[in-house]
Amino acid sequence: MKKERGIITGNGGFSIIELLVVSAIIATFSVVLILNFRSSPTSKTARVQTASVVLSDIRRAQSLALSGSRYQGNLVCGYGFHYVNPTSYFIYVKTVPVSGPCSSVATHNYQSGDPITENKILINTNMEFRSSFNDIFFEPPDPKTYINNKSSLNIPPATLTIQLKNQNNCAQNTCTEINVFTSGQIDLK
């Protein structure tokens, strides 16, 4: 280094070889990390992610029952969660005219003609529901939970099982379950 008029000058930079070596090391680490943290669309992580989205939609119906008093000008008597086929479901609403009481609603299960607020398809096309499940309905203001039109605390929970498409059984922890209880509790196993 030499000093000219109070300024220090010299070869203070990196060579092109040093920059290329560092860039190659960073690129190698990046590729390894991306490959290790990427989950397969058929892995347990993918199944749990799919189940978590379904669970979130069930909780959404529960929250809507807590908050909604009107839907398209009618009085809301609750929101439900309904199985359509192995890869889809929807959230529906039970309503009555503003002057009518919710006690006039004959069933909490989905009936043709009930408004559908959201149609949903499983986010991972490699996953499906193992079997159909009973309607789950949340009635305000608590919300009270109904499974297949029953709200007794003694009935078993509604179980929604997520599995890899065309899988024959749930052996060796290959399914993920969502259990919805009439107490309002929702669990992911």
The pTM of this model reads 0.74
Over its length of 189 residues, how does the chain's per-residue pLDDT go in tens digits? 555 565 555 566 778 888 888 888 988 888 877 766 555 666 777 888 888 899 999 998 888 888 867 888 888 888 999 999 999 999 999 888 777 777 777 888 898 888 889 899 988 888 888 888 999 999 888 778 999 989 888 999 999 988 888 887 877 778 888 999 988 888 988
User: Cβ atoms within 10 A of the Cβ of 173, count?
Assistant: 9
- Spatial separation of the C-alpha atoms in residues 46 and 51, rounded to whole Å: 9
User: Longest C-alpha distance within the chain, in Å?
Assistant: 95
The pLDDT of residue 97 is 79
Q: Which two tokens stand for residue 13?
A: 């930079």
Q: Which two tokens stand for residue 50?
A: 């799919």
The pLDDT of residue 41 is 62
Alpha helices in 68-188 (DSSP H): none
Question: How does pLDDT run across 49-94, given as a tens digit for each residue?
Answer: 888 899 999 998 888 888 867 888 888 888 999 999 999 999 999 8
- Spatial separation of the C-alpha atoms in residues 76 and 94, rounded to whole Å: 6
User: Are 88 and 119 contacting, i.e. CB atoms less than 8 angstroms apart?
Assistant: yes
- Spatial separation of the C-alpha atoms in residues 142 and 62, rounded to whole Å: 10
Q: What domains lie within the chain, and their CATH numbers?
A: 44-188 (3.55.40.10)
